Amino acid sequence: MVTTVNIGARLDRLPISPFHYRIFWLIAAGMFFDGYDLYVAGPVLGAAVQSKFSTLAQNGWFLSLTFVGMTLGSLLAGFLGDRFGRRFTYQFNLMIFGFASLAAAFAPNIHVLNGLRFVMGVGLGAEIVVGYGTMTEFVPPQRRGKWMAFMAFVVVSGLPATAILAWALIPSFGWRPLFVIAGIGALIVWYLRKALPESPRWLEANGRAAEAETLMQTIEREVALTGPLPPPAAPLPAPTLGLGALLSPSLLPSMVVGSVVLITINALIFGFVNWLPTFFVQQGLSVTRSLTYTLVIVSGSLIGCAIGALAADSLGRRKTIIAASVWAIVFGSIYPFAAAPSVVLGVGFLLIVGIYVLTSLLYGVYTSELFPTAVRLRANGICNMFGRGATIVTPLIVVALFQASGVGGVLSFMIGLLVIQIAVVWAWGIEPAKRGLETLSTGAIDTPRQAVRV
């Protein structure tokens, strides 16, 4: 396909304006409730075990079914988003997990709750793929790393939000109100997000040049109210890509990188972070004290995301990913030997900081930049499918390792994944910092792997 509208260059030369902030916050609001609904599993399952509503094994199935749904949702979102547009897909998935969350609050037993969690998972998996992918297509390259990492900061703020609400609500009201909050919040955002525009990059990539031009002119008029616009760069060739291109020599290494890093970060979050309340309860702490410990430790998540946002553009994606992986390995190796409460909290806090530097880059920044617009959501959906698919079995592995070797066994598994991640990113990862998406799509980038997107 020949570029006729030059959408990429026209978007990339726009100064940051109220338009960008409006797009950001409307997408971020839905992403917050996605993060909230993901992280609510930790305190809910800890309380469910304590109240005999569920067993440890049934909790494992709750998480596994979440990931079955998220695996399916990630894959479907990729194909729906590239075929029918970003706008249709992010509204559809938000509605799914909003209604399913409300229904979960009234689940009569763990089996019904697990079934509803599968439905929630479909919407949650789709939201992450479409939300990050859509925002990537609007933000200018000089700010893209910072803005996308801050998007991850908003998502991750769902973690301390669930910890605070669980600490405040569960001892007196149980776990059900947490799902009510998730459902009502998601449906409110669904209504507000109806005003979001389609991605003009997607319109152009799908041959809808007239619509792309009309929308782009509307955006330019709004942004021009803040000052004159600089001229856009010359258009770059826009290759026609099908699904088979993902197996080509230029894109297959990125598929491997995207899949490995998402397998790793999903395992870290849902094989360790999300299990903290349950680990503490099983080690003899009360639910209230378990939730207090968890709240202190996971407060490092926001600091980690903030560090990721600052480092993404200045230090670069690859260096930050590798440095944070080493950091997590060091403190993950120390954590099982911590005994005193102050040491457990301090080392756990620092471990969480490293994990969430990775979270901000791997969810929010890096994987959305690895692929051209024509296949961005499908490629991301497939990578997320592998990431979520691997974690279908992660909770079962975690239960077995915890019962056999305690937290040390769980963290040894996580450290092994981090070592693999370092090797893969070092060998095959590209460096997209401060580069336009179209230059990445045509290979006009200096990388350790000269990837030519054709």
Burial call 215-233: b when 16+ CB within 10 Å, e when fewer:
bbeebbeebeeeeeeeebe
**Whether the Cβ atoms of residue 222 and residue 19 lie closer than 8 Å to each other:** yes
C-alpha span between 337 and 348 (Å, rounded): 11
C-alpha span between 56 and 402 (Å, rounded): 11
List, for residues 187-229, the tens digit of each pLDDT value.
Answer: 999 999 888 899 999 999 888 999 999 999 999 999 998 888 8
C-alpha span between 133 and 136 (Å, rounded): 5
pLDDT of residue 365: 86
pLDDT of residue 35: 86
Handedness of CA 251, 257, 260, 266 (dihedral sign): negative
Domain coordinates of the chain in residue numbers?
7-442
**Whether the Cβ atoms of residue 430 and residue 447 lie closer than 8 Å to each other:** yes
pLDDT bin (cut points 50, 70, 90) of residue 283 is low
C-alpha span between 403 and 60 (Å, rounded): 13
Tell me how far the alpha carbon of residue 285 is from its chain's centroid.
Answer: 31
List, for residues 329-346, the tens digit of each pLDDT value.
Answer: 999 898 888 777 788 888
Task: Name the DSSP letter for residue 337.
Answer: G
Task: Please check the confidence at residue 442 and state whether its pLDDT lies above 50.
Answer: no
Per the structure block, which two tokens stand in for 90?
A: 């992010």
List, for residues 379-398, the tens digit of each pLDDT value.
Answer: 888 998 888 778 778 877 88
**Whether the Cβ atoms of residue 35 and residue 155 lie closer than 8 Å to each other:** yes
Task: Please check the confidence at residue 275 and state whether its pLDDT lies above 90.
Answer: no
7-442: CATH, from 1.10.357.10, 3.90.420.10, 3.40.50.620, 1.20.1250.20: 1.20.1250.20
Residue 391, helix vs strand vs coil = helix
pLDDT of residue 41: 85
- What's the pTM value of the predicted model, to 2 decimals? 0.79
pLDDT of residue 415: 92
As a dihedral over the C-alpha atoms of residue 425, residue 430, residue 433, residue 438, rounded to 10 degrees, the angle is -150
pLDDT of residue 351: 92
Task: Please check the confidence at residue 445 and state whether its pLDDT lies above 80.
Answer: no
Q: What's the whole-number mean pLDDT along residues 162-190?
A: 92
C-alpha span between 103 and 73 (Å, rounded): 19
- Angle of helix 110-136 versus helix 141-156 axis, rounded to 10: 160
Percent of the chain with pLDDT over 90: 37
Percent of the chain with pLDDT over 70: 91
Number of DSSP helices (H) and strands (E) in the chain, helices first: 20, 0
Q: What's the whole-number mean pLDDT along residues 21-26?
A: 94
Q: What is the mean pLDDT of the chain?
A: 85
pLDDT bin (cut points 50, 70, 90) of residue 327 is very high
pLDDT of residue 52: 86
Q: What angle do CA 260, 440, 447 make, to 5 degrees?
A: 65
Q: What's the whole-number mean pLDDT along residues 427-452?
A: 63
Residue 264, helix vs strand vs coil = helix
What residue spans of 429-442 are helical by DSSP H? 437-442
Per the structure block, which two tokens stand in for 114?
A: 């697990």
pLDDT of residue 241: 65
Q: What's the whole-number mean pLDDT along residues 116-120?
A: 95
